[in-house]
Every structure is written in C-alpha cells, then in structure tokens.
Amino acid sequence: MLLVWLIAGSLLLVAFAGLISAAEAAISVKSRADILALAIESRTRTSLVRIAEDSGTHANALSFIRICAETTAAVLVTLAFSFSLDSLWLALVLSALLMTAVSFVLVGASPRGFGRNNADAILQVSAPVVHAVRVVLGPLADALVSFGNRVTPGVSRNSAFSSEEQLLSMVDEATELAVLEEDERALIHSIFEFNQTVIREVMVPRTDMIVIDAGESVQEATGVFLRTGVSRLPVIDGDVDEIVGILYLKDVARIGYETPAEAERLTAGAIAKPALFVPESKKADSLLAQMQAESNHLAIVVDEYGGVAGLVTIEDLIEELVGEISDEYDTELDEVVALEDDGHRVSARLAIDELGELYGIELEDDDVDTVGGLLTKHLGRLPTSGDEVTANGLVLTADRVEGRRKRLVTVVVRPTEALDEIRAALAREAAE
C-alpha cells in the first residue's frame, strides 16, 4: 500500500511541477501590458493584476516551488524503488535515470513549449494558483534570491535581459528564424545605437553649409532658396561663426506674395528667427526630443571652442533611425559606386560604419566618423590625389580633391587579400 502512495504522490508532484513550468513560460513571454490587457475580460482579474504588478517575484516563487516539487518527486521515486529492489545502488541509478527523463520531458520541454504557445489560456487558468504560491512562498523565495544576488552580484533575476547586447542578440536570432524581417532588425538596432550617437556624427559639416548674409534682401534670398532647394538658411553677419538667426522659406514666400515691394527693401537679418545652438557632443536622442518639444527643425552645432561646427536638421536625426529619406526635389548623389575587383568609389563623407557594412566588417574609430577622416588619420596629413593607406583590412586611396584647400571629395576603397580570404571562408561556412 505504501508503494502505491509513493508512486501516486510522485505522479501528482510531477503533474503539479509541469503546470508550474507552463505558467513560468507563459509569464516569461508576456509583458506587463499584455497581462493587464488579458485581465480586463478575465474571471481571474484580481490575480492577473497582481501578477502583472510584480511578475518577477511571482516567477521566482514559481521556480522555487517547481524545484521543491521535482526534488520531492525524485525522493518518493527513490523510496519506491528501494522498497521494490534489494540493491540500493540499483534503486538509486534507476530513480536517477527515470526522474531525469521525466523532469526533462514532463516538467521541462513539453510544458514550457505549451506554456509559450498558449500563454493567454495558461495564465487565465493558473493565475489564482500562481498568486497563491507567491503569497505563501514569496518571502522565502525572495530571501533566497537576495542571497543569490550577493553570491553573484550585478545579475538581475527579475529581468529577461541583463544587457542591451543580450536583447540585440535575441533580435538577431529572431531574424534568422524569420520571426522578424531584416528591415525590422535593422530598425531595432538603429534605435539602440541612436542613444549613443553624438551630433557630430550626423551633422552637415561647416564646409558644406549653405548660408546667407544678413544684409541680403528677401528677393535675393528667394533666389538662394530656389537654387539650393533648402527650406531654411542660417543667416550670418559676415562670418559663419557669427550666426544671427535662421531664415525660413515660408516667411520669404509670404512677403514676396503679400507685399512684393517689401521684398527688395527687407533684409534676411530683419526677418530671421532665433537659432537653436547645441554642442557637438550632445546625444542625438536628446536633441531629437528637444527639437520635437520646441517645434524646431534646424539646430546650429557648436564645437568646444565656441565656433560653428555645422548644422543638423530633424530630418538628419530621423534618417539615423529609419535610413535615407528623399523626396521628389532631392538631388540623388551616388555615395557608393561599385568598381572592378570588389572595389568601390565612395564619398569622403561616407560614415565609416556604412563602409564596414559594405564589406561585412565592423569599423569603429573614436577619433573620426567618415572615410575621408579615416584616410587622413592614417596618412598623418591632408591627402592629395593618389595617396594610399591600409586600415582595418581595406586599402583607401584618395581619388579626387578640389578647391584651394584641397578638400577630399571621393575615396577608392578595395579589400586587402587577407580580408578577401576571411570573407570567402565565412561565405563557405554560411553556405554549409
């Protein structure tokens, strides 16, 4: 009779552990908002709300009681074998083998998979039990978790992800499994990288800024707007470092339409609006929030010495998140032109991380942001046409320079033989 009770007890404990395991899995795949939404039309509303408010602690309590149930079931099975067999060692071996298989299949793999795939149903059914376990065993589980945190400090037991890298790795894995599209993966990566991006990396540099002098008339400003296709112009007082405001196309167009006679008399400085000045070290996400709050579409970027380093628009910031945005009036410029032998002619202003993506490698440099800057850094002087350096497995050759200042315009990039061999090996490995 005792043998029957031992077997029945172990079966009940295994079934209970399986239910708890399924509930654990269901909680792990549902966010707080998901659980609260589920509670709205559920009979177990109160328990679900409690779970949503503190899902981490509920999960800890479930993990604790599941381990208790599995351990107790293993002890009962061992006792049942020891009563049935003459050899204690044989009883121990058989019970260990049996409970390992049972725990893996009936408590681990099957219930967890079922819980993840049917999370809503599992949560609604098990919510009262889950919350009851939390109330009864929560303090003990919390104490053990606190002890565990002291043993391994810095690791959170209440968080599904301990770092951004872990979350991004999960995103990459989801893309490989076709759960996410490639463009969705790229967008998620861009969002995480955005808060580490400084304005200096996305601004239009001072040398490429289009400006207008404060003394120019509104009529002359109209011509500048039409020739350049921009909708806002920094207004300077004789020097680019002396920016007195921002001239808006809509103000110029309004004056030209309503009072054409005033267009020749009024100057750009007279109707310019105050400019927003930001340091080049400001984070892109912080500036985007500021520009949204202040309804500002253009900011002047200032370097550490107080000089104008460039300008940045809200479009530049958004493009960092979603990629290049072009309208029907934008002039298409090829920043990358494919050449023979896996070479490319690229704009000197091309970001080095984009060049890295072109060749499937990771390119980072704390000192420079562009291909032209990378070439100049390794060369140690201003490049002239034909100058060549090797950096990060790439051969960079200064292609075209222009102007009295010998400004670098394009760079020819080719991979080294070593990089070619590495890329070929990776391609073969991926094909296999």
**Confidence band for 236, pLDDT divided at 50, 70 and 90:** very high
Q: Residue 251: what pLDDT?
A: 93
Residues 14 and 147 in one domain: yes
Q: What are phi and psi of 140, to 5 degrees?
A: -65, -45
Residue 420 has pLDDT above 90, yes or no: no
Residues 265 and 211 in one domain: yes
Q: By residue range, what is the domain housing residue 398?
A: 336-431
Residues 83 and 124 in one domain: yes
Least confident of 165-179, 219-233, 368-382: 165-179
Residues 278 and 318 in one domain: yes
- Burial environment of residue 339 by CB neighbours within 10 A (0 to 12, 13 to 18, 19 or more): exposed
Whole-structure pTM over 0.85, yes or no? Answer: no
Count other C-beta atoms under 10 Å from residue 376's C-beta.
20
Residue 412 lies in a domain: yes
Choose the final residue of a domain: 280, 295, 322.
322
CA atoms within a 13 Å half-sphere pointing along the CA-CB vector of 72: 17
The one-character DSSP state at 404 is T
**Average of pLDDT values for 33-44?**
81
Residues 222 and 351 in one domain: no
Q: What is the pLDDT of residues 82-91, one digit of tens each?
A: 888 777 788 8
**Average of pLDDT values for 262-276?**
90
Residues 40 and 138 in one domain: yes
**Confidence band for 277, pLDDT divided at 50, 70 and 90:** very high
**Average of pLDDT values for 283-310?**
93
CATH number of the CATH domain containing 248: 3.10.580.10
Where would I find the H helices in 118-248? Answer: 119-151, 164-176, 182-194, 199-202, 218-228
**Confidence band for 310, pLDDT divided at 50, 70 and 90:** very high
Q: What is the pLDDT of residues 50-74, one digit of tens each?
A: 888 877 788 888 888 888 888 898 8
Residues 222 and 297 in one domain: yes
Q: Is 229 helix (H, G, I), strand (E, B) or coil?
A: coil
Q: Residue 95: what pLDDT?
A: 85
Residue 275 lies in a domain: yes
The one-character DSSP state at 206 is G
CB of 395 within 8 A of CB of 416? yes
**Average of pLDDT values for 411-425?**
78
Residues 205 and 285 in one domain: yes
How many domains are there within the chain? 4
Residues 146 and 31 in one domain: yes
Residue bearing the bigger pLDDT, 1 or 297: 297
Residues 89 and 206 in one domain: no
**Average of pLDDT values for 137-150?**
71
Choose the final residue of a domain: 85, 118, 151.
151
Residues 142 and 42 in one domain: yes
